[in-house]
């Protein structure tokens, strides 16, 4: 019989193990739990979510609060629509997307560095940055909408369902469908990307992180430097078309790539979708009055929320049925092929919705 583990084992010594065929059930040194005084335990019972949450459930509470206060993005988009002429709104929305791309690169890097110091520190810093941002908007940023263009507050419009009613107008529903399909397709990246790269290419966390950072870099470059020029050259309809075609090719390359090389080459093509988002938003923005820009951006954010409800379960299910012995179709890249097909459907919708009227010819 193997020797029993001693409670006085040195921390630097390897963990004791038994001859059990189950390594996860191997015996480990027994150490008494650390003693805490009542003064040490008391603050943990009153800690706020995320930064000081005493249990995992508090993280979910924090996410719920975050969702209830997630109006900063649509508000920023509405602000840009208020202060930008209609013909320049696609470029303005592109700049905001570029800012998100930069944050997509810097955020995980900062979180990793701060998390190495203390796992709770990234939450504190994120909260502090949000507080500074809020104070800047409250005391420094001027109001964008004149009194004459403001509409009275209404609970019928200030909810996800009410805001979506705005999209029922002629020509807006099809463009909204383009955005919704694009947002759902994007969920394949958010929910399958990491496990797909691990399953098919055996990428390390570092490689996955670097590839995600590359996506953020291209998003920033396209949004800051190219959206304005592309829209000026080929128009909003052409920019939407270019982005959807590039996105469909990019997703297809993700699914087809067997070694990872084609996957990397597909990133700049996939990021051509950076032309679609601001151009489609600009088309919708021009179809609404100045007093409805906030409601419109809230409706667009509701479309993102719908995609966030549908996408995770759908794409992870598709991936689970594309691998292993019980696979329906043994093609690991199926989720990305499905995403590409969604963009092709969106392309057909976009061509119909943005076709110039005969009176303008």
184 touches 310 (CB < 8 A): yes
CA 328/CA 2 separation, integer angstroms: 46
Task: Give the pLDDT score at 42.
Answer: 38
Catalogue the long-range contacts made by 18-22 (C-beta closer than 8 Å, 24 or more residues apart). Answer: none
DSSP state of 203: -
CA 60/CA 49 separation, integer angstroms: 8
- Per run of 10 residues, the mean pLDDT along the chain (length 361 residues) is 44 43 44 40 42 70 74 79 83 85 81 84 88 90 78 67 78 92 95 94 88 90 93 95 97 94 95 95 90 85 91 96 90 96 97 76 46
State the pTM of this model.
0.74
Task: Give the pLDDT score at 8.
Answer: 42
Nearest in space to 182 (alpha carbons), one of 133, 255, 240, 105: 240
CA 229/CA 115 separation, integer angstroms: 39
Give the number of other Cβ atoms within 10 Å of residue 45's Cβ. Answer: 7
Helices (H), 118-257: 121-139, 160-164, 172-201, 205-221, 227-256
Tell me the Ramachandran region of residue 202: left when phi exceeds 0, alpha when psi lies from -120 to 50, beta otherwise.
Answer: left
Tell me the Ramachandran region of residue 324: left when phi exceeds 0, alpha when psi lies from -120 to 50, beta otherwise.
Answer: left
Residues 88-113, buried b or exposed e (16+ Cβ, 10 A)?
Answer: ebbbbbbbbbbebbbebbeebebeee
Task: Give the pLDDT score at 46.
Answer: 37
244 touches 347 (CB < 8 A): yes
Nearest in space to 346 (alpha carbons), one of 254, 245, 270, 251: 245
Task: Give the pLDDT score at 53.
Answer: 60
DSSP codes of every residue in 308-343: HHHHHHHHHHHHHTSSSTT-SS--TTHHHHHHHHHH
Task: Give the pLDDT score at 316.
Answer: 96
Two tokens, residue 165: 């009613």
């Amino acid at each position: 019989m193997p020797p029993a583990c001693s409670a006085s084992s040195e921390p630097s010594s390897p963990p004791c193990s038994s001859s059990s065929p189950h390594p996860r059930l191997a015996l480990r040194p027994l150490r008494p739990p650390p003693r805490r005084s009542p003064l040490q335990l008391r603050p943990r019972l009153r800690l706020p979510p995320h930064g000081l949450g005493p249990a995992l459930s508090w993280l979910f509470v924090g996410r719920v609060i975050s969702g209830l206060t997630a109006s900063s993005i649509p508000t920023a988009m509405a602000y840009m629509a208020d202060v930008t002429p209609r013909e320049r709104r696609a470029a303005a929305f592109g700049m905001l997307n570029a800012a998100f791309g930069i944050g997509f690169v810097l955020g995980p890097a900062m979180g990793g560095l701060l998390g190495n110091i203390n796992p709770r520190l990234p939450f504190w810093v994120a909260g502090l940055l949000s507080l500074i941002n809020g104070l800047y908007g409250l005391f420094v940023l001027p109001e964008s909408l004149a009194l004459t263009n403001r509409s009275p507050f209404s609970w019928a419009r200030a909810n996800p369902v009410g805001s979506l009613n705005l999209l029922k107008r002629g020509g807006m529903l099809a463009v909204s469908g383009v955005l919704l399909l694009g947002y759902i397709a994007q969920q394949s990246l958010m929910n399958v990307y990491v496990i797909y790269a691990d399953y098919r290419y055996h990428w390390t966390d570092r490689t996955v992180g670097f590839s995600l950072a590359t996506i953020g870099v291209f998003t920033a470059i396209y949004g800051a430097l190219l959206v304005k020029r592309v829209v000026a050259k080929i128009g909003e309809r052409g920019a939407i078309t270019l982005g959807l075609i590039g996105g469909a090719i990019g997703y297809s390359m993700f699914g087809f790539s067997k070694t990872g090389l084609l996957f990397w080459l597909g990133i700049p093509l996939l990021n051509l979708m950076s032309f679609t988002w601001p151009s489609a938003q600009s088309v919708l923005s021009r179809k609404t009055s100045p007093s409805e820009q906030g409601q419109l951006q809230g409706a667009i954010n509701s479309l993102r929320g719908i995609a966030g409800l549908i996408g995770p379960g759908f794409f992870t299910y598709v991936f689970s049925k594309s691998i292993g012995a019980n696979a329906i179709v043994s093609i690991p890249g199926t989720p990305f092929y499905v995403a590409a097909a969604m963009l092709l459907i969106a392309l057909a919708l976009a061509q119909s919705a943005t076709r110039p009227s005969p009176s303008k010819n």
